[in-house]
Structure 1
Amino acid sequence: MQGGYNTGKDVSLDINGPYGPIRIDKIMKFDSKPKVTNTEITPLNGQTDELMIPKGWTGTFEVERTDSTLDDYWARFEADYYNGVSQPPCYITETIEEPDGGSSTYRYTNVVLKLEDAGSKEGDKTIRQSVSFTARRRLKV
């Protein structure tokens, strides 16, 4: 917190995969967005109403690679797929320390993780990896 505002340092994530916790040392960025379907209804009087129907959540996170965690997760996902093993979904718990001293916790349920980028490998540069996800719900815990 800085001057009564939340900053990214106020957020922590716990990611639980189908085979236990996915421990990532250096999460650099986390982004989440609700998905909705909008439907316009315009009766003969011309006064349009809009229905908004929640359709889950999407998001991304970026990681500085400090070990093989994400590469191993994806290798297991691929192996399960090709061996006909149905992989159960994950869940993500997001905790935000609030400026008033309290905290808010949200759980993303039925999460499917996708390794978007295993990272560019260059001399004298760190390797940044990115993951996207979809979730069925985001529940207040």
Structure 2
Amino acid sequence: MTTPYTIGRQGSIILIWNGARIDLEDVIDFQVRQEIKVQRTNPLNKPPIEFNTPSGWRGSFTIDRGNYALDTLFNADELAFWNASTISSGVLYCYIQEADGSTSKYEYSGLTLTFSNAGKFDSENIVAQTVDFFASQRRSV
């Protein structure tokens, strides 16, 4: 029996960074939200007017560390910046299996990443790593 609602395991993400696919082993969460810029005017002769304009997308994902892919990515980016002032970029793809059997596909472009949690190493727990991101745009693909 299928559910009429989306559950977390119906989604997956793929990260392409500097043209190469990054092996994100065991993604355990992914969240994203639209950013907007509030535009407002307060005319003297009528009520205030307010509307929103798109201003990118912000989100994060967490993996249970099964390999060194994220460590390698961020180390290479930092080295490229200090050695040649290179700023890396990429694209993130999100796939969602819908209840009707179709797949929704979204591309987040103009991507920047922050390694917000490189991991806590505790003797009895799986190491989780979290990446925050900003994307200039999201589009259906």
TM-score by length of structure 2 reads 0.94
- Counterpart-to-counterpart distance in 2, 1:131 and 1:20: 17
Give the drift of 1:97. Answer: 0.8
Partner SS state of residue 75, structure 2: helix
- Counterpart-to-counterpart distance in 1, 2:60 and 2:12: 14
- Counterpart-to-counterpart distance in 2, 1:76 and 1:91: 17
Query: Mind listing any 5+ residue stretches in structure 2 that lack a counterpart?
Result: none
- Counterpart-to-counterpart distance in 2, 1:87 and 1:81: 6
Match for 1:90: what amino acid?
A: G
Give the drift of 1:47. Answer: 2.0
Report sequence identity in percent: 26
Counterparts of residues 54-93 of structure 1 (less than 5 Å): 54-93=54-93
Q: What are the superposed Cα offsets for residues 46-92 of structure 1, whole Å, 9 maximum, x if unpaired?
A: 32221211111110001100010111111101110110142341000
Give the drift of 1:3. Answer: 2.4
Match for 1:129: what amino acid?
A: Q
Match for 2:129: what amino acid?
A: Q
Aligned to 2:34: 34
Q: Which moved more, 1:80-89 or 1:3-12?
A: 80-89
TM-score by length of structure 1 reads 0.94
- Counterpart-to-counterpart distance in 2, 1:85 and 1:46: 51
Output the aligned Cα RMSD. Answer: 1.4
Change (3 A) 1:51 1:83: same
What number of residue pairs does the alignment pair up? 141
